[in-house]
Amino acid sequence: MDMSATGREPPQRIPVSLLTGFLGSGKTTLLGRLVRHPGMADTAVVINEFGEIGLDHHLVEAVDGEAVLLASGCLCCTMRDDLAATLCELHDKRERGEIPAFRRVVIETTGLADPAPVIHSLLRHAGVRQAYVLDGVITTVDAVHGGTQLDRQPECVKQAAVADRLVLTKTDLADPRQTAALLRRLAHLNPQAEVIVAEQGQVDPARLFDVGVLPSRKGLEEQRDEQDGSEGSYLGDSVRHVCGPDCEKALGAAHHDADIRTYAFRFEQPLEWEQVSAWLGGLAYFHGDALLRMKGILNLRNETAPVAVHAVQHLFHEPVTLSDWPDDDRASRVVFITRGLDREVIAEAFAASAMA
């Protein structure tokens, strides 16, 4: 297959992590601790306002009117109205040597933000795509108020559902039984995400970043154990049901997360790109409102390297060829996070794409 035909190229781009979380969930505290950590050196942090995390006494020098360099080596800048313009300007200044050569970017959203538009900016804008690659979504969840926020705030549910890492905060202030119930609910809402407990607002940055496109090994192994064993099959009958009416009753969850489900598909044999493109592109086009997020790694026929795919709602991002496989498993793996979209619809779309 001609790589240029699909616009795929080996990624030599800067990884971007999205830090989100509902109001009061400890996101700003976590970010404030992260920018002081030596492990955040060579990182650019795009935030709403400097004053939100009290950086004044940690500034070393002003790089320009929008950015400052911290004692840890971390570069911070304010987020403009257009995130894509901010990222492109940062990259241009980096290339010209006007600011330090950062090796990753962390974007902090507001507490009420739907993460989808931010991900759209990373996947849709041509200039951003050339310079950056989405690493992962990190969502903070308040152990004290998280259950109530999930009950009452749809944005909170969406922030947790699309996360690659869930950071549980304020566990020292929460009742242990309350924390355990919240952890169970999060496991049902997003079984693919790793849950990390922040100790006094602190987390080792090494645990938050370098997520990559590979879905959680734990979630995929659980689903593989349930597989019927048929050679070359996808996880049709063994896709894990994450949340529904029964789960709602058992967990005491509100209706907001009752329709959020995660489905993982595994293909043992190499796939044809034309079929995969028709499958994923069709789902994004016809069911984009229900497709919160899709991510996967593909083994394509006539390709020697793995191919990463992403979609957020109606946007199916151009695939990217990776330099190598992240592990010894050569099966294609695709994970869908949906709201109100049945697994049968996804499976039938794949079957239909084979006949197209």
At 297-333, the pLDDT tens digits run 999 999 989 998 888 888 887 788 888 887 889 999 9
Range from 32-46, 115-129, 169-183, 210-224 carrying the lowest mean pLDDT = 210-224
Residue 213: the pLDDT is: 59
Per-residue pLDDT band for 226 (boundaries 50, 70, 90) equals very low
Residue 229: the pLDDT is: 34
pLDDT greater than 90 at residue 235: no
pLDDT greater than 50 at residue 76: yes
Per-residue pLDDT band for 252 (boundaries 50, 70, 90) equals very low
What's the pLDDT tens digit per position in 157-171? 989 999 999 999 999
Per-residue pLDDT band for 337 (boundaries 50, 70, 90) equals confident
Rounded to an integer, the average pLDDT of 189-197 is 91
Q: What is the 3-state secondary structure (H, E, C) of the chain?
A: CCHHHCCCCCCCCEEEEEEEECCCCCHHHHHHHHCCCHHHCCEEEEECCHHHHCCHHHEEEECCCCEEEECCCCEEEECCCCHHHHHHHHHHHHHHCCCCCCCEEEEECCCCCCHHHHHHHHHHCHHHHHHEEEEEEEEEEECCCHHHHHHHCHHHHHHHHCCCEEEEECCCCCCHHHHHHHHHHHHHHCCCCEEEECECCECCHHHCCCCCCCCCHHHHHHHHHHCCCCCCCCCCCCCCCCCCHHHHHHHCCCHHHCCEEEEEEEECCCECHHHHHHHHHHHHHHHHHHEEEEEEEECECCCCCCEEEEEECCEECCCEECCCCCCCCCCEEEEEEEECCCHHHHHHHHHHHHHC
What's the pLDDT tens digit per position in 103-160? 999 988 877 778 888 888 777 888 888 899 888 999 999 999 999 989 888 889 989 9
pLDDT greater than 90 at residue 345: yes
What's the pLDDT tens digit per position in 45-66? 887 654 555 554 444 445 555 6
How confident is the prediction for the chain on average, in pLDDT? 78
